[in-house]
Each structure stands twice: as structure tokens, then as C-alpha cells.
Chain A
């Protein structure tokens, strides 16, 4: 044995240590080679992209970094800049209140919409995040009345009376619903309407002259606040209406089905702007002579109709995507139509439709800027109207538009990221 080994010149007895990989195949270099310069066309693309980024940054950075934040008007700002590149961001700090709250809203009352805005997050949290304690939903239920009282002010009895009407309606509904859903629904609805009707007289009779929060007329709403009000109110109102329309469109009853189909197709076929024109010039013709109700309310009605039709189509997609077996299983359990819908069909269909609904909500929030066309002063209306036409800030375009873009981007991107997160949470199918 030992002879044989000695006959070889050299035998390595231990294993070689592994060599380090070539420098080009490891670490950041490898990443760059694979992801940026894997072939000649890709390298050209990368260079082009780098050039684009350079162009954007070289224009944007000096403008943003060299900005002026505290001058009273554009002339002072230009004096400070002395011809150098830089943004006059002082328009934002000087006109901040106008951009956010509009021109007319009373300065001393700014805390009210601000508080309503902060409370909105607390109210929305339990709806958005299922992990939070369910008791928080009570606050969510109270929030609409609270927010209305905070923003519009006036007598506190009015929102309380509306709330009482809702509670009475719910009590009647829960008493009657064991008999049949239809009886419960219509009974509850009738009870609520009766309460509001009676309550209207009572509030009118006993409302005090002096109220704790002064009443703010709707035409004083403006700025980004108006976009938020329209967006939040219209999305939350259009969701139930959209569900009802979608169910109506799937219904076996031809008359109800055709009413829903015509409504949905009509609203989806025309641009929102024409509906806003209807709100601003035509709707008054259809009201009893002498009535004169708020432009903001008319706009809310129209935008709600608009988004309800879109949400209905999204939910119809969800309903159609459910396997037929789910409907048949509900039937075979002996559930009637409302029970089957509430317990089996809608929970699944709504889950499927969440991304679509969020898309509609984002689109709707973006579309609230259209009210500036019918001369309401939302964020875009404020920028185009009072601010750009003022002598102080005539000519400060980019700072204002950048602010508007940033504001909308943050909100809409946030919502869409939330919807992607929720989709992952709700993905119960095993892949």
C-alpha cells in the first residue's frame, strides 16, 4: 500500500479551498451586469434611462433646493432669487389656508374641518384594517353625524335627529326582519322617514338662535377640503347604491332589471362633466318651483349617481365571477334571496371586487377636480382662479401645480397601495 503511494510524484492529501468567484460574477458588479448591461441593446437602454433621469433631476433639483419659502409676493421672491433658478414656494406658505380651506371659510373655524379630517382616520381605521377591535365601529357609525356637525355647524339637534331616525329605523328593521327581509327593510325605512319628518318639526320649533358652532353655508367650502368632502361623501354613498344596482341588474324581474340597465348604461355613457352641467344648470328645473338647494348638494347627488353606476359594474363582475355552485348551494340550504345574498353571495363577490372598487374610488377622487369647471373653488379651482389671477402671484405656475400633483399623488397612491395590501390579506385560495 505505502509503496504504491510513494510511486506517485505528488498526491494532494487535503481538499483545495474553493476559489473566490470572479469579481464580475459577484456582488454589485454582478447585479449591474445582469440588470443593467446584459446585452448591447440593454446597455443603450440603460444609458438612455440614465440620461432621462439626469435631465429630470437637473431641471428639478436646483428649482426645488433653491426655493424661497417666505416672501409676500412674486416680486420679492424674484428679487431674492436674483435671476437664479429656484421655486417661489412662498406662494404655498402664504396661500396655504386658501389652498386647503378655500377663500370664504372663517379663519377662526379652521380647527373644525381639521378635527373632522383627523377623526376621519379613526373612523375609517376599523373598516380598513380588520385586525382592529370591532367596538371602534361604533365610532365609525357616529362619524358622519359628527363630521357633518363639525364642518357645517348650526344646531346640533339636526344631526342628532337624523341619528335618532336611523336608530329607530334599525330597531324596526331588526324587529321585522325575522319575518321577511323586505318587510324589515321597508318597515325600517318608513319608520326612519317618519321620525325625520316629525323630528324636522321639533328641531324647527325648539332650535336655539345661538348655536355652539356657527353655521357655515356650503358655498364657503373650498380648496382641498372640498375635494376631500366630495370624495369621501360620494364614495361612501355610492357603495350601497352600487350594490343595489348590481343586484338589480342581475335580477330575474325584467322591469327592475331594465330600470337598472338603462340607468347604468346611461350614466356610464356620458362624461362626468355633462352630469355636472346638469347639476349646475338643469337640475333646478326638475325641482318644485321655489326650492333652492345647495350647489354642493346637487353636485354630490350627480357624482354619487356617476360613481354608483361604475361601482355597480365592478360588483356585477364580482357576482358573475362566483361559481354557479355557490348560488345553488345557497338555494339548497333553503335560504331565501336576501339571506343568500347577505350570507353567501355578497361577502364573496365583494371580496373579488375590492380592487375594482378601489380603482373606482381613486378615479372618483381624481374626478372631484372637475367641479372647478362649473366654477366651484376646489384645489384646482383655487389655483386657476383666485391665486393665479391675483397680482401677488400672477405667473407662479410650477410651484402651485407641483403642490396639487403631490397632494393628489400621495392620497391616490396611498389608497392603491392599501388595496394591494388588502388583496394579499384576503387571498384565501392556496397557491
Chain B
């Protein structure tokens, strides 16, 4: 009878570092580390030699010096005397603003186009595929510049002047000029806070009513209507309070004064160009994601739901959509990330996002290229890491619970 024994323990020899798979990976990693450290040291030594030769140093003190340039559209208070840091914040907020707006409209556009592309209506589905292919296959930079050109060729504010103006405001409320679009802005009179409070409360009430309806359905088998009651809860109390309080919330319509429109909210030309271009461009991608997600739900699911006797809208809401969303949402979130990154193209139309302020004017004025670009990259990295963290949390929450 033979017994299996371990082979005699070999003593370590240097050649095993190359030939023995147990040790070889350590050799490779060691070499890789040495090469990496060597490369970084080489680059850094070049950097310091170059900086010394140019009489520069790395410091972030410039951030607190006055910026000395103006920014057209700002969300926070900013003057040309504010610091470069303030200008960077203005840019960051502008980036987030355009990214947020574009995410909203791109989602709406993408969902509509994606659903319509699957429709049985031949003409509509062909029209939607034409939209998707046209916008997916042309650089977003070109679309930004094209929409910018469209805005530039709109009438100048002076076209609205005179007895018989060349241009008229849309519905008397919205003025579109080559400087941007002017829309009415709400004015908040005394007591308007209460109206807003009631409005928020009625939104909360809708959710509570819906939960109540679901509980009634599950516990008692009573099927309460949800659509009309929700609509009523949304509008009736707010309107009542609005009139009882004496109509405190008004709107301020933009009006032509001198050479430009005053009052209302101005949406500047660069913002419109960037916002619309990012929306239609990304909307085309989102449409493809939505279509893929709906098609990923197997036909058997729909048929099973119908055979249970569910109505078509219930089949959509209860069976198809929850399964399709699982497929749609991860690529949707990465499209949001793409919007945020593509918003850096603002620099091409002069929208003051963070790339244009921190990475553009501040960089050119102070000559602090290294520091500016490092900060810029850190900002975008933070955003994208945050978004991927959100995505991971979502993926874990919807992943199929298997075994």
C-alpha cells in the first residue's frame, strides 16, 4: 500500500522567482512597482526642473486674489472683485444647473422617443428612429454650435419695438431674442409662503392617499380610483388658499425697456444652446436605452399578465415597467454622468461653467495651469465617483435576489 506524501520541501532558489508560478507574480508586481515609481519620479523631477527654470512654484494662493472678470449668468452673488475661488464656485453651480436641466429634458425626450419607436405606428416609429440615428451619429459639439447659431439668428430685442413690431412675444409672455429667452418670473407677495406650504402639503397628501388606496386594495379588496382624486388633491386646496389669501403670487412678465428686456427671468443664449443640445443629443441615447429595456422584458411576461386578466395599463405598470426599469436605470445614470462631462463643452459657446471659469479665464489670467487643471479634474472626478456610488447602491437594491 502506497501513501501519498507531500513532495519534499524544496529550499528557495532565486530562479524560482522567474520559473515558479507561486513566486512569479511577486516578481512581476515588484517590477511593475519599480517601473511605476521610476516613471513618476522621472516626471516629477522634470516638473520641478521646469518649474524652477520658469521661476514658478505650486501654490493655491491665487484662489483668494480678485478675479477681475465678469460672468454673464450667475446663481450666486458675484462681481469682478470677487476672488477666483468665488468664480470657480459660480462655474461649479452653473455646471450643475445645466447638467440638472439637461438631465430632466433628456429623460423626458428619451422616454417619449424610446416608447414611440416601439409603437405600431409605422410613420411615428420611423420618424423616431430618424431622430435617434441623426443625433447619435453627429458630434455633440456640432449640435451645440448649431443650436447656438439658431439662437443667434432669432430677432434682436429691437425687433419687438414700435407700433408694428417685426417680432411678437409668444402668447404675450415669452420673448425669444438673439440674447436669450425671457420668461415670466413669479413674484412672491405677503402670504405666498402659506400658499406654497399648502401646495407642498397637498403633494404629501397625494402620497398618503395612494398608500391608503393600496392598503385598501390589499386588505379589503376595494379598488379605489387614484388618478382623479390625486389631481383634485393637487389643485383644489392650493387654489382655494390662493384666492382666500387674495392672490399673493403673481407673475412678472418681461417687458421691453430701452435696448433690452427687463423683468422676468433671462435664460442666456449660451445656456439655451448647451441645454437644448445636450438634451436632444443625450435624449437619443436614452431612447435607445429605453427601447432596449422594454424589449428585454420577455413576451411571456406580458402574456402571463394578460392571461391573469390584468388590464393593459396594469400590465404595463405592474409587470413590464418594474422589470424594464431594472435594465434601463443603470445606463440612464451613466448617461447623466455623460451629460455632466459633456457640459464642459460650454466653453465653445461661452457659458460660464467650471471649465470656462476655472479652466479657462482663471487659468489664462494667472498662468497657474497645473493647479487649475488639477482642481478641475478633482471636481469632475468627485461628481463621477458620487454618481457611480449612487449607481452601485441602486444596482444592489434592484438586483435579483437569487438563492
Contacts and interface: CB of A to CB of B under 8 A. Distances in A.
A and B assemble together: yes
Interface of A: 34-36, 38, 42, 45-46, 49-50, 52-53, 182, 252-256, 259, 265-266, 268-274, 277-278, 281-282, 284-289, 362, 366-367, 369-370, 372-373, 380, 384, 397-398, 401, 404-405, 408-409, 412-413, 416
B127 A49 contact: yes
Contact of A271 (B43, B142, B145, B344): B344
Interface string B107-134: 0000000001001111110010000011
Given A35-B122, A285-B51, A367 B344 contact: no
Interface in B359-373: 359, 363, 369-370, 373
Contact of B373 (A34, A282, A413): A282
A269 B380 contact: yes
Contacts of A286: 43, 46-47, 50
Given A274-B344, A288-B46, A408 B138 contact: yes
B142 A289 contact: no
A408 B136 CA distance: 10
Interface residues of B, number: 53
Interface stretch (B24-32, B155-163, B271-279): B24-32
Nearest to A186: B31
Given A253-B25, A253-B29, 7 more contacts: A46-B123, A270-B381, A274-B380, A281-B373, A282-B373, A286-B43, A287-B46
Interface in B304-355: 341-342, 344-345, 347-348, 355
Contacts of B136: 412, 416
Interface of B: 25, 28-29, 32-33, 36, 43, 46-47, 49-51, 53, 116, 119-124, 127, 133-134, 136-142, 145-146, 149, 153, 341-342, 344-345, 347-348, 355, 359, 363, 369-370, 373, 376-377, 380-381, 383-385
A36 B32 contact: no
Contact of A289 (B53, B138, B347): B53
A401 B123 contact: no
29 contacts: A35-B123, A36-B121, A49-B123, A49-B124, A53-B127, A254-B29, A255-B32, A256-B28, A259-B32, A265-B385, A269-B380, A269-B384, A270-B380, A270-B381, A270-B384, A273-B344, A274-B376, A286-B47, A369-B141, A372-B141, A373-B141, A380-B139, A380-B141, A398-B149, A401-B145, A404-B142, A413-B133, A413-B137, A416-B136
Contact of A277 (B49, B149, B359): B359
A412 B363 contact: no
Contacts, number: 154
B48 to A, nearest CB: 9
A45 to B, nearest CB: 5
A384 B145 contact: yes
A285 B381 contact: no
A289 B345 contact: no
A151 B290 CA distance: 44
- B interface, by DSSP: helix, strand, loop or mixed? helix
Contact of A46 (B124, B139, B369, B376): B124
Given A53-B127, A255-B32, A369-B142, A273 B345 contact: yes
Contacts of B140: 366
Contacts of A408: 137-139, 142
8 smallest beta-carbon distances between A and B, as pairs: A412-B137, A35-B122, A269-B384, A366-B139, A271-B341, A271-B344, A255-B29, A269-B381
A163 to B, nearest CB: 27
Contacts of B153: 397
B152 to A, nearest CB: 8
B295 to A, nearest CB: 15
Nearest to B45: A288
Contact of A373 (B47, B120, B345): B345
Contacts of A373: 141, 345, 347-348
B293 to A, nearest CB: 16
Nearest to B348: A373
Contacts of B384: 268-270
Given A46-B124, A50-B123, A271-B344, A281 B355 contact: no
Nearest to A384: B145
A413 B130 CA distance: 11
A119 B377 CA distance: 40
Contact of A401 (B122, B137, B149, B380): B149
B355 A271 contact: yes
A271 B376 CA distance: 10
Contacts of B359: 273-274, 277
